């Protein structure tokens, strides 16, 4: 048992449900997958991916933040914000190309004003209240608003929609809503691209022939909002929520269990404590009422559910500590979300949204684990992706990473994709970085080792020349840390004088072209300019760099640090030393894994990443000897 609870998301069930639902829509209708509230607790990103694979043309979210988060993760199809947006969200909506809903004239005016300032254009959908009595222009006086809505050049009316109040069980009222909507649509100066009204139940129960988009939510997750739908469509629950038995106890007649002594023991019983409570999404109203399943047996929840713990009567089941406990099952009907919520007249939508707030999600297809979704993901929404913002994200992530593997996965997968694949940013990175540092004890009398370094990596060649710098104090070198023209920096110990005798380049090459070196030495720095006329032709594409140097290191320093200060894709750093040394290493890594692979033999330590793994700047290794 690693986690106290987890949710398992069966993507095959999701696919099964979705394809069944789609059979009910008009032939010419497209579909929008609802992923608001993290896809009803199933994980917006993974659900979005699957839905897009199955043909979704649009996604539906609750607010700009949910939309931005999908954008960060590389989702590029249109994202509709279903509820009215606030003025404060306009900037994000525009920057992340989200599609807001227009529910009144005030918002569309503010939006247009902002767009004008920025000289931009976006698409919107008009929301009509045809009887839901919630957001949107009221159907009764919508006509008067038409000139106001359609007057803006920079606001493209891409869609118009309404929402059913009771499509799962009130056909008469739903028909009336459709009629009201139809009248509105016929009044429009032109037909927007998308006209839509049906939610999940509406797709199954109704037919709206003038609509060309449906919005699919709850049914795709395998939940029936009304029992009567069961005779029309077969669905499979997508979510399973499980925990584990953490303690087993006995109670006897007269004992009580839990807060306020709600449960009074009448017959001797065995009960189990499970390590989750209402804070984990186990609904409080299920206290003394709900059930769980342990080893295929349904067992009652006894007494009050606590914030973090719950008692289960296990008198009738063989169980031991560590056994799985199904809270929401994707197999046993008694533990389907809608049947659990029926016990307390609750709402399955709500139960799904709150489940697993402390649980990691695991995605399955074909009984194979595809991916898992970290917990922190849900809190980690960063505001922008300009360079400064990125630096902040990276540095925050690096500091967070010490506490969390999960946040680093977010960075790893999302930020890097954003950086290198989704934009034509001029950021370059190194790959196949290989650095060898060899200490040679040429003369036992010497107080220094002769050091040979060898560096090779692949990187896009931007300029026809680059520099190698060597300084004997940190301050002088620091100025060159972020200089993109410098490919190699070496900090010479301050015991040594800055000259060619202490630091020199043995060879510097791009591919097999040996470059022309020009030394420039002063009292603070050795600067070596490296270039070749042939480099002109190689600019703009990835080339193989190699740099070999000859230098010195004091024997009594006992410490050597190697930094990676550019984003790097896979590395190997080797330290070769005389056999009488017994160095230790301390890796400081920012990347997907904190601990690189370390291989030690009697005269060599080799530190390397996984193949193709990204490493962030400020990573490094300290060798102490």
Ligand X SMILES: *Cc1c(COP(=O)(O)O)cnc(C)c1O
Task: Please report which helix (H) or strand (E) contains residue 357, including its range.
Answer: none
> Could you tell me the smallest distance in angstroms from the CB atom of residue 86 to ligand X?
17
Among positions 43, 217, 583, 596, the unique one binding ligand X when judged by CB under 6 A = 217
- If the CB atoms of residues 163 and 180 are measured against ligand X, the closer one turns out to be 163
Q: Give the one residue of 33, 200, 329, 414 binding ligand X; rule: CB under 6 A.
A: 200
Least gap, CB of 200 to ligand X (angstroms): 3
Output 98 or 467, the one with its CB closest to ligand X: 98
Q: Which is nearer to ligand X, 218 or 319 (CB)?
A: 218
What separation in angstroms does the CA of 70 have from each of 158, 180, 238?
A: 21, 34, 21
H or E stretch covering 397: helix 387-401
Minimum Å gap between C-beta 511 and ligand X is: 57
Are 366 and 13 within 8 A, CB to CB? no
* 259 is an active site residue: yes
What would the two tokens of residue 320 be?
């031991």
CA gap 46, 239 in Å, rounded: 13
List, in sequence order, every residue forming a beta bridge with 122; answer none if it has no partner. Answer: 155
Residue nearest to ligand X (CB): 217
- What is the footprint of ligand X within residues 238-257 (CB under 6 A)? none
Q: Using the rule CB under 6 A, which residue among 218, 242, 301, 515 binds ligand X?
A: 218
Alpha-carbon gap, residue 269 to 493, rounded angstroms: 73
Smaller CB separation from ligand X, 197 or 305: 197
Pick the piece of the chain touching ligand X (CB under 6 A) from 195-203, 274-282, 445-453, 572-580.
195-203
Structure tokens at 433: 């970085």
CA separation for the pair 243, 326 (Å, rounded): 7
- Residues 281 and 246: their CA atoms lie apart, in Å, by 18
CB of 338 to ligand X, least distance (A): 12
Contacts of 342 (CB under 8 A, 6+ apart): none
Half-sphere exposure of 83 (CA within 13 A, CB side): 11
Nearest approach in angstroms of CB 40 to ligand X is 7
Q: Which of 163, 180, 361, 377 binds ligand X (CB under 6 A)?
A: 163
* Alpha-carbon distances of 284 from 281, 289, 335, 357, 567, rounded to whole Å: 8, 10, 16, 14, 48
Q: How far is the CB of 124 from ligand X (least distance, A)?
A: 14
Count of all residues that appear for the chain in the document:
625
Please state, in angstroms and rounded to a whole number, the distance separating the CA atoms of residues 284 and 260: 14
Which of 171, 232, 249, 259 is catalytic? The answer is 259
Asked if 205 interacts with ligand X (CB under 6 A), we say no
For 563, the 3-state DSSP assignment is strand
Q: Does 199 bind ligand X (CB under 6 A)?
A: yes
Helix (H) or strand (E) holding 284: none
Stretch that binds ligand X, among 178-186, 199-207, 256-264, 377-385 (CB under 6 A): 199-207
Compare residues 217 and 281 and give the one whose CB is closer to ligand X: 217
CA distance 550 to 505: 6
DSSP E strands in 350-419: the ranges are 360-365, 368-373
Judged by beta carbon, residue 59 or residue 562, the one nearer ligand X is 59
Piece of the chain touching ligand X by CB under 6 A; list 15-23, 197-205, 282-290, 304-312:
197-205
Q: Kindly tell me which residue out of 82, 195, 242, 312 binds ligand X, with binding defined by CB under 6 A.
A: 82
- Residue 549 binding ligand X, by CB under 6 A: no
Q: By CB neighbour count within 10 A (0-12 exposed, 13-18 middle, 19+ buried), where does 556 fall?
A: exposed
Q: Which of 209, 232, 233, 207 is nearest to 220 (CA)?
A: 233
Segment interacting with ligand X (CB under 6 A) among 69-77, 209-217, 233-241, 608-616: 209-217
Q: Are strands 58-61 and 30-34 parallel, antiparallel or unpaired?
A: parallel
CA 586 to chain centroid, in Å, comes to 29
Shortest spacing between CB 350 and ligand X, in angstroms: 12
Please, which residue, 217 or 583, has the CB nearer to ligand X? 217
Shortest spacing between CB 585 and ligand X, in angstroms = 53
Query: Of 36, 50, 304, 418, which residue is the catalytic one?
Result: 36
Closest approach of ligand X to the CB of residue 202, in Å? 8
Alpha-carbon gap, residue 597 to 575, rounded angstroms: 14
Residue number, 206 or 470, with CB nearest to ligand X: 206
Distance CA 600, CA 187 (A): 78
Cross-strand partners of 7: 241, 361
Interactions with ligand X, residue window 26-45 (CB under 6 A): 34, 36
C-alpha distance from residue 368 to each of 8, 25, 327, 532 (Å): 11, 31, 21, 53
Neighbours of 111 (CB within 10 A): 23
Binding-site member from 13, 42, 182, 215 for ligand X (CB under 6 A)? 215
Smallest gap from residue 237 Cβ to ligand X (A): 14
Q: Considering CB under 6 A, how many residues would be counted as binding ligand X? A: 11
- Say how far apart CA 3 and CA 292 lie, in whole Å: 18
CA distance 580 to 592: 34
Beta carbon of residue 95, minimum distance to ligand X (angstroms, whole number): 24
Nearer to ligand X, 225 or 277 (CB): 225
> 368 an active-site residue?
no
Q: C-alpha distances in angstroms, 333 versus 230, 289, 298?
A: 13, 16, 11
Residues marked active site are found at: 36, 259
Positions touching ligand X (CB under 6 A) are 34, 36, 82, 163, 199-201, 215-218
């Amino acid at each position: 048992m690693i986690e106290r609870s987890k949710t398992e998301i069966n993507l095959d069930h999701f696919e099964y449900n979705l394809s069944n639902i789609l059979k009910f829509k008009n032939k010419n209708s497209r579909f929008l997958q609802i992923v608001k509230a993290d896809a009803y607790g199933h994980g917006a990103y993974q659900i979005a991916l699957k839905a897009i694979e199955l043909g979704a043309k649009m996604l539906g979210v609750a607010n700009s933040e949910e939309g931005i988060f999908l954008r960060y993760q590389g989702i590029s199809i249109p994202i509709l914000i279903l509820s009215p947006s606030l003025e404060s969200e306009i900037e994000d909506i525009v920057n992340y190309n989200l599609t807001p809903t227009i529910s009144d004239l005030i918002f569309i005016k503010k939006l247009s004003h902002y767009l004008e300032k920025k000289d931009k254009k976006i698409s919107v959908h008009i929301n009509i209240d045809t009887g839901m009595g919630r957001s949107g222009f009221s159907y009764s006086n919508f006509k008067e608003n038409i000139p106001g809505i359609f007057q803006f050049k920079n606001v493209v009316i891409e869609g118009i929609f309404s929402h059913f109040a009771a499509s799962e069980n009130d056909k008469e009222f739903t028909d009336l809503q459709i009629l009201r909507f139809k009248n509105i649509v016929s009044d429009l100066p032109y037909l927007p691209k998308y006209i839509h009204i049906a939610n999940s139940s509406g797709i199954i129960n109704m037919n709206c022939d003038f609509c060309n988009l449906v919005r699919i939510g709850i049914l795709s997750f395998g939940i029936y909002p009304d029992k009567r739908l069961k005779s029309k469509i077969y669905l499979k629950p997508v979510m399973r929520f499980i925990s584990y038995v953490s303690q087993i106890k006995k109670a006897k007649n007269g004992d009580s269990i839990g807060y306020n002594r709600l449960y009074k023991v009448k017959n001797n019983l065995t009960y189990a404590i499970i390590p989750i409570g209402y804070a984990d999404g186990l609904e409080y109203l299920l206290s003394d009422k709900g059930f769980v399943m342990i080893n295929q047996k349904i067992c009652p929840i006894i007494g009050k559910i606590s914030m973090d713990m719950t008692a289960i009567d296990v008198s009738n089941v063989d169980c031991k500590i560590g056994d799985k406990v199904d809270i929401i099952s994707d197999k046993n009907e008694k533990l389907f979300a809608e049947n659990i919520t029926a016990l307390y007249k609750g709402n399955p939508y709500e139960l799904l949204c709150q489940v697993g707030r402390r649980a990691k999600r695991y995605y399955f297809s074909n009984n194979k684990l595809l991916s898992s979704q970290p917990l922190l993901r849900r809190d980690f929404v960063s505001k922008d992706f300009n360079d400064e913002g990125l630096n902040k994200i990276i540095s925050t992530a690096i500091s967070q990473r010490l506490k969390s593997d999960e946040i680093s996965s977010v960075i790893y997968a999302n930020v890097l994709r954003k950086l290198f694949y989704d934009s034509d940013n001029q950021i370059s990175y190194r790959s196949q970085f290989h650095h060898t540092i060899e200490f040679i004890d040429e003369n036992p009398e010497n107080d220094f080792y002769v050091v040979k370094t060898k560096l090779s990596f692949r990187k896009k060649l931007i300029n026809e020349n680059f520099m190698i710098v060597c300084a004997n104090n940190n301050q002088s070198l620091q100025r060159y840390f972020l200089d993109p023209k410098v490919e190699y920096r070496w900090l010479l110990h301050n015991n040594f004088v800055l000259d060619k005798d202490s630091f020199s380049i043995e060879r510097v090459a791009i591919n097999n072209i040996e470059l022309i070196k020009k030394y420039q030495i002063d009292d603070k720095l050795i600067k070596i300019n490296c270039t070749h006329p042939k480099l002109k032709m190689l600019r703009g594409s990835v080339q193989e760099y190699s740099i070999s140097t000859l230098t010195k290191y004091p024997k009594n320093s006992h410490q050597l640090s190697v930094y990676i200060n550019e984003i790097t894709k896979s590395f190997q750093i080797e330290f070769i030393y005389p056999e009488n040394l017994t160095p230790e290493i301390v890796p400081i890594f920012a990347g997907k894994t904190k601990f690189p692979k370390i291989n030690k033999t009697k005269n060599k330590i080799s530190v390397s990443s996984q193949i193709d793994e990204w490493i962030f700047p400020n990573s490094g290794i300290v060798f102490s000897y």
